[in-house]
Structure 1
Amino acid sequence: MSWIEGPLLGFDTETTGVDVDSDRIVTAALVRRDASGTHIRTWLIDPGVEIPAAASAIHGITTAHAHAHGAPPVVALEEIATQVAAALSDGIPVVAFNACYDLSILDAELTRHGLATVPDRLGRPAAPVLDPLVLDRHADRYRRGKRKLVDLCGVYEVGTGSLHSADVDVVATLDVLARLVERFPDLAELDLGALHARQVAAHRAWAEEFNAWRTGQGMAGPGAEADWPTRTPVAAVPASL
């Protein structure tokens, strides 16, 4: 039986922005898919900072709503990290679209609030992780077009629902993964360790090629991160500051 039969643990966050080191998690979802079905748990978090209007326009959560109804970050983050680490410890893959963002911002938030990161809890790097974005780039390298989640939902004929809600995004990500594996069945034949390693190498190769293209175009800035599925966050500013 292939790993695609489950169990799988999908993960997604909605945040105050796109900076892994300084932005905060506003909502999160963990979706376990196994033989018994799909089981969803979500969190609304009071990030303790203003949620920019641009971010609220994407995920629909305002500062006032998060402050009134959100859980304290230290409570929610501990619950999320406990479940993620437990799954990885049991060999259950965590599935996340653009995993390096969600797993890295989770670790940065945990550090900010004085909690152990996921790798610290495991005593090793986070693995196995499955990232449909990395897998799609690897398996269908020369396909033209954008590769956001909504784009891959179109490519793999997955209903999108109301994307930019963490739980909806996770379900869509799991569905895209299932369709991707149907199209590229050799992925299902690999064991999780080999597939994780393949993604590490594939992402690094993509990042190096992308950054070389940026340099050739005269673009400034750091470019794409070469590490996957997490990177070491810079020292997070304590939540009390």
Structure 2
Amino acid sequence: MRYPAAGLDWTYGRLVGFDLETTSTDPHSARIVTGSVVGYGGGQPTSVRTWLSDVGGSQIPTAASAVHGVTTEAARSAGRPAPAVVEEITATLAGLVEEGHPLAIMSAPYGLTVLDREARWYGITPLGDRVSPVVLDPLVLDRRVRKWAQGPRTLERLCRHYVVPLDEDAHSSEADATAVCELVRRMGRRHALLAKSSPARLHQRQVGWAREQGEDLRAYFARTPGKEAWARDVRLDWPLLPLRREGGR
């Protein structure tokens, strides 16, 4: 592992950003359209690998295409076979985790669950069965250090707050993965609570923080007229959602 220079915290080390553009907001059934893995910081040039999948013959809904700009026709004509894309993304992440690099992932339970379910669908060894990644999720971290901040914590809003460059019209996995790395780094440098912990310690703390945040959200929905039913859909698991009991994806 390449450690930061003496006297510097983890925000000066190498981070790996990971982001997906997909067919759906449901992590159990979404198919990967594009995926990017970005090596960032640590005194080294930024490295980027991006994949375009043929989505395994699935359709990309118009609403999803409107967000990331990839149509079903484009994916099928220019994309690579979905199983190969899933294997290469998983293997790339596993290799970087083995080198000791933390993964920076916005809303980690979504991206990691999509990748996990795709791997299982194609009979590929999932990331979590290969390595134990250390994950830094700006959504969970910001909810901890700015508990009472108002408004949704989208990637765009967080980047504006922490003054991180992001082309809000791009909506590409490469742009988002790069922005998340810088976002996590600036969050760490602004908040001592984050900087003074190692990435491994932060990972463990986020497990508890995410559960507390989910429990608070459940309680809010449960006591809010018209939102009571939403409480049962709030998941407390982080950074990976468990398999559905009925099996499959």
- TM-score in terms of structure 1 length: 0.93
Tell me what 2:248 maps to: 236
Tell me what 2:161 maps to: 155
2:219 is aligned with 1:195: no
1:32 to 21, 29, 39: 39
Cα deviation digits, residues 180-235 of structure 1 (max 9, x gap)? 11210331221122111111111100000001111112421433210101122333
Tell me what 2:52 maps to: 44
What is the deviation of 1:236? 2.8
2:176 to 169, 177, 193: 169
Contact 2:19 2:37 in 1 (8 A): yes
Q: 2: CA distance between counterparts of 1:84 and 1:144?
A: 34
Q: 2: CA distance between counterparts of 1:236 and 1:90?
A: 32
Contact 1:214 1:223 in 2 (8 A): no
Q: 1: CA distance between counterparts of 2:25 and 2:155?
A: 16
Structure 1: which 5+ residue stretches go unaligned? Answer: none
Q: Per the alignment, in what secondary structure is the counterpart of residue 42 of structure 1?
A: strand
Of stretches 99-108 and 82-91 in structure 1, the one that deviates more from structure 2 is 82-91
Tell me what 1:96 maps to: 105
Q: 2: CA distance between counterparts of 1:73 and 1:30?
A: 16
Tell me what 1:3 maps to: 10
Contact 1:22 1:236 in 2 (8 A): no
1:12 to 14, 19, 36: 19
Contact 1:20 1:233 in 2 (8 A): no
Number of residue pairs matched by the alignment: 234
Tell me what 2:144 maps to: 138
Structure 2: which 5+ residue stretches go unaligned? Answer: 1-7
Tell me what 2:3 maps to: none
Deviating runs (4+, > 4 A) in structure 1? none
Amino acid across the alignment from 2:45: G
1:86 to 63, 88, 95: 95
Contact 1:10 1:173 in 2 (8 A): yes
Identical-pair percentage? 37
1:111 to 120, 130, 139: 120
Amino acid across the alignment from 2:204: A
Q: 1: CA distance between counterparts of 2:243 and 2:118?
A: 10
